[in-house]
Amino acid sequence: MIRLIAFLGNPGKEYRETRHNAGFLLADELYPTASWKLKFHSAFTEEGGRKILKPMTMMNLSGTAVSEAASFYKLRADEIMIVHDDLELPLGKAKVQKGGGLQGHNGLRSIKERLGSDGFYRLRIGIGRPVHGDVRLYVTSPFRKDEKIALETLFQKIKAIIGNPEKETEISL
């Protein structure tokens, strides 16, 4: 059973609408009236018996927040879901899986290092890969208007499965 969901992103107004903040954007969609407080280096709330985190450590240090919460609540890796952007999935697709490769995602790398395991669940939100150009600039650039519409539609489908992964699940528009 998932007891902690960590939505990854970068804090700060300059990152708010960027591709790397797909996790934060989903958290805001799912919990629009949540009372967030600062705890575990995160914006923290509890909803439906689950602990919800938006790490405020910057993406590459997300493991600090996740490991502090996991340690405090004595959680195993398989009781944690990490929600993050994914370059390898096209925009409009999402996938739930347990474990798996990190695919160069520094936030996931930080979490694996701090937890000592990659046995957590992941909700991968597709943002697509740029055809050319710097990936770092791509993930920190804002979604275009048409991409925001696709993302909002995908988020509506994700609402039905968040926190209840029974098996690998793919979601698409």
Q: Which residues neighbour 62 within 8 Å (Cβ) at sequence distance 6 or greater?
A: 6, 8, 55, 82, 107, 108, 110, 111
- Is residue 6 within 8 Å of 53, Cβ to Cβ? yes
Active site residue 20: yes
Tokens 């502090």 — which residue? Answer: 68
- The enclosing H or E element of 87 equals none
Which residue has 């489908």 as its token pair? 157
Which residue out of 20, 41, 84, 105 is catalytically annotated?
20
Other Cβ atoms less than 10 A from the Cβ of 24: the count is 24
Q: Tokens 């539609």 belong to which residue?
A: 153
Pull the structure tokens for residue 45: 């709330």
For residue 59, how far is the Cα from the chain centroid? 10
Number of residues assigned to the chain: 173
Task: Show which residues are catalytic.
Answer: 20
